[in-house]
Amino acid sequence: MTDSTAYGTLETIDGRPALRFELLLAYPIERVWQAVSVPAELASFFPGAADWTPAKGEIIDLGGPILEVTEVDPPNRLAWVMAGQPQSFELTAAEGGCRLIFTHVIDDLPVAQTATGWETYLSRLEPHLAGTHLSDEQAHEPWREIHERYAERFDVDPEPGRRWAAEHLPSGGD
C-alpha cells in the first residue's frame, strides 16, 4: 500500500459523465469505513459533510441541496444522491489495507474544476487516518497545477477553473 493519492478518471455511468477516484490506503477497511461514515471524521476531509446516521432513505437538507442516502452496506459501500447526482464510497479490503473508490456522476459540472476539487479534498483523507490534519488551505495549495493537469487530460477549456481559482484561492504560483 503506497498510493494514497487520488487521480480522477472520467467515465460514463448510465450514459452520464462521472468522475472516479481510486486510493490505496494502508489502513483496515473498518477504519476507512469509520472515516467516511462518521460525521465528525468525514468533516475533517470531505466538503459539506452531513450530520447523518447514515441509513438508507435518510434525507438531509444541507441548506440548499438535498442529500438522500441510497445505500449503506458497512463496511463496503455508502451511496447517496445530492442535487440529482449520485456519489459513493466503495471500499474493499486490499493487501496491506483498503482500496477506496469515490465516484461522482457530474452531469454538466465543469469536469476539470470538479475533478480538482475532489482530488484536493480526498488528499486530506490519508493524513486524517494517520492522525494528523491537512488543512483546507494546505490541500488547496497545488489546486492550480492539478487543475491544469485535468484540463489537459480531459481536453477541456481551462479558463472556467482559472477564473474560479482567481476569485476563490489566495494568489499563488500557477
Cα gap 65→63, rounded to integer Å = 6
Neighbours of 133 (CB within 10 A): 12
**pTM score, two decimals?**
0.92
Domain boundaries, the chain: 7-168
CA–CA gap between residue 18 and residue 107 (Å, rounded): 7
Does domain 7-168 fall under CATH 3.30.530.20? My reply is yes
Q: Which of 46, 125, 38 is nearest to 75 (CA)?
A: 38
pLDDT digit string (tens) for 37-72?
A: 999 998 888 887 778 899 999 999 888 888 999 999
